[in-house]
């Protein structure tokens, strides 16, 4: 059913700048943004060791409560920081992220280091190579100080993990974190690190970002190399960052984006300068308001906040344009699930034969579906996909520059109500959670999650900007404009 057209009469303006839920401490460098931390280290105002010690202190203090960490070697983290400080002292050329502590989802391989992928099956797996994305962050000077928890083999959108334990939402530990990059969302929101890599096959960057009040970028399929990242579904998998601000996100994407001979689907399309475009004027840009699908079943408290964010864009000079969504979008959610299960089953077929009991029940059940998908059906879906991509981009982006949607149609669920292992009918519930994220994966389009307030229960709420292929820069430009006018991104959960 079409939603009402957004207009000044029905849009509720965001409140004026308001205090954080928890007071930021100027003495605690962990509360800096990534951009502030990088600038402070480069200027010599604070050392990489001081930054790292602040992050490690929070990890030690808060992890028992939020369960973000899959692995931590404090001595190694401090050694990295000391090496970064020594390089700066010698006058070595510094990368854009020099000395800044990051941590990443436990599916990015680093040679010789355990990468368990949230599983029992790989609990002792030590890869013989390092992921391209990590290599590029290394080259930019970033530190890699911890491995972060995740859904088992990245196959889930709620954050639950029956095998290694479930991370907790730092805004309310009774609520889900979103998945599958659960630990990445928790660690960044809890100020344990300044940014983290996640992966997104059906929403697994954007959903944890939304649930934890962060910025998350699912890039265009082929924009960032997946080499050295655990595969789930090869025709859907993407690599991207979770951060506290749009600028921070662009800094990481600038470092990791680009073609890689080790991942043949990466595109030669030029990356461009994301940071240089952040402060460009957004007046005249056409922001699309979907007339169908993306608002189907949206909760009133979510609608209020998301529509209010449109008023901010309107006030900045953007044109809000209602846009008809192709009817075929309604099937993309289920088709994305079918592709994920089928391609995932191909990756896991040997273990499903020999070690099925070592999987958690949800992962095992979803992989089993893929094992029984007929090859003819899978191939028909891939053929249909090409047609639907052309149709969607032609109909939507022929009229608007970006599409603006709610990221989730519901407030952040509790752990109990989103526990698929305990509830029947889990497949339909998963479809509801990923209702607005999976179409972006099916279409291969970039999607940026931006926090836009809090529902009455105190949990974050977000909108999503979707763009044309390889137009991440425009999404960053609009997201940054929104954050220049609001302060939701400055808020921190109270974990005292």
Which sequence positions are flagged as catalytic?
Answer: 105, 180, 204
A 10 A CB-CB count for 300 gives: 7
Phi and psi at residue 491, in whole multiples of 5°?
-85, 145
Query: Which three-class secondary structure state does DSSP give residue 458?
Result: coil
Please, how many CA atoms are within 13 Å of residue 286, restricted to the half-sphere of its CB?
12
Q: How far apart are the first and last CA of the chain?
A: 44
Neighbours of 365 (CB within 10 A): 16
Burial class (CB in 10 A: 0-12, 13-18, 19+), 379: exposed
The stretches of 22-165 forming alpha helices (DSSP H) are 34-43, 48-66, 74-90, 132-139
Q: How far apart are CA 424 and CA 426, in angstroms?
A: 5
The tokens of 456 are what? Answer: 């009455």
Taking Cα atoms as reference points, which of 182, 190, 184 lies closest to residue 165?
182
Query: CA 149, CA 139: separation in Å to the nearest integer?
Result: 24
Q: Are 352 and 371 in contact (CB under 8 A)?
A: yes
Angle at 187 between CA 183 and CA 236, to 5 degrees: 45
Residues 6+ apart with CB under 8 A from 66: 167, 168, 169, 170, 173, 186, 190, 495
Within 13 Å, how many C-alpha atoms sit on residue 126's CB side? Answer: 4
H runs (alpha helix) in 228-360? 246-256, 300-315, 329-354
- Residue 396 CA neighbour count, 13 Å, CB half: 28
Neighbours of 9 (CB within 10 A): 7
């Amino acid at each position: 059913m079409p939603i009402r057209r957004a207009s000044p009469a029905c849009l509720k303006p965001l409140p004026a700048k308001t205090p954080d839920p928890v007071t930021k401490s100027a003495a605690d460098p962990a509360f800096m943004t990534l951009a502030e931390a990088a600038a402070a280290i480069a200027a010599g105002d604070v050392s990489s060791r001081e930054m790292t010690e602040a992050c490690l202190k929070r990890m030690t203090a808060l992890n028992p409560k939020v369960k973000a960490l899959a692995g931590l070697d404090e001595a190694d983290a401090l050694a990295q920081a000391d090496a970064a400080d020594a390089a700066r002292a010698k006058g070595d050329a510094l990368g854009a992220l020099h000395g800044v502590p990051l941590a990443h989802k436990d599916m990015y391989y680093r040679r010789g280091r355990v990468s368990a992928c949230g599983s029992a099956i790989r609990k002792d797996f030590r890869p013989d190579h390092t992921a391209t994305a990590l290599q590029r962050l290394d080259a930019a000077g970033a530190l890699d100080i911890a491995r972060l928890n995740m859904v088992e083999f990245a196959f889930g959108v709620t954050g639950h993990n029956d095998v290694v334990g479930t991370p907790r939402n730092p805004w309310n530990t009774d609520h889900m974190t979103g998945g599958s990059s659960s630990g990445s969302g928790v660690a960044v929101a809890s100020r344990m690190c300044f940014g983290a890599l996640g992966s997104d096959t059906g929403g697994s960057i954007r959903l944890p970002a939304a649930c934890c009040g962060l910025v998350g970028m699912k890039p265009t399929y082929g924009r960032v190399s997946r080499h050295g990242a655990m595969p789930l579904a090869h025709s859907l998998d993407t690599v991207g960052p979770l951060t506290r601000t749009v600028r921070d996100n662009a800094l990481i994407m600038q470092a990791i984006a680009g073609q890689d001979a080790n991942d043949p689907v990466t595109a030669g399309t030029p990356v461009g300068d994301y940071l240089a475009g952040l402060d460009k004027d957004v007046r005249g840009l056409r922001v699309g308001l979907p007339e169908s699908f993306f608002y189907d079943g949206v909760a009133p408290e979510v609608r209020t906040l998301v529509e209010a964010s449109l008023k901010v864009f309107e006030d900045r000079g953007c044109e809000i344009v209602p846009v008809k969504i192709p009817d075929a979008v309604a099937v993309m959610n289920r088709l994305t699930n079918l592709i994920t299960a089928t391609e995932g089953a191909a990756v896991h077929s040997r273990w499903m034969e020999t070690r099925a009991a070592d999987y958690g029940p949800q992962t095992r059940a979803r992989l089993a579906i893929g094992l029984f998908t007929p090859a003819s059906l899978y191939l028909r879906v891939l053929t249909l996909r090409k047609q639907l991509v052309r149709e969607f981009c032609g109909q939507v982006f022929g009229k608007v520059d970006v599409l603006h949607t709610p990221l989730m149609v519901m407030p952040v669920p509790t752990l109990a109500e989103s526990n698929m292992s305990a509830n029947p009918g889990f497949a339909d519930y998963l479809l509801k959670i990923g209702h607005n994220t999976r179409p972006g994966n099916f279409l291969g389009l970039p999607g940026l999650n931006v926090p836009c307030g809090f529902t009455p229960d105190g949990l974050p709420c977000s909108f999503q900007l979707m763009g044309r292929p390889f137009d991440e820069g425009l999404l960053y430009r609009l997201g940054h404009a929104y954050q220049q006018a609001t302060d939701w991104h400055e808020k921190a959960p109270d974990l005292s």
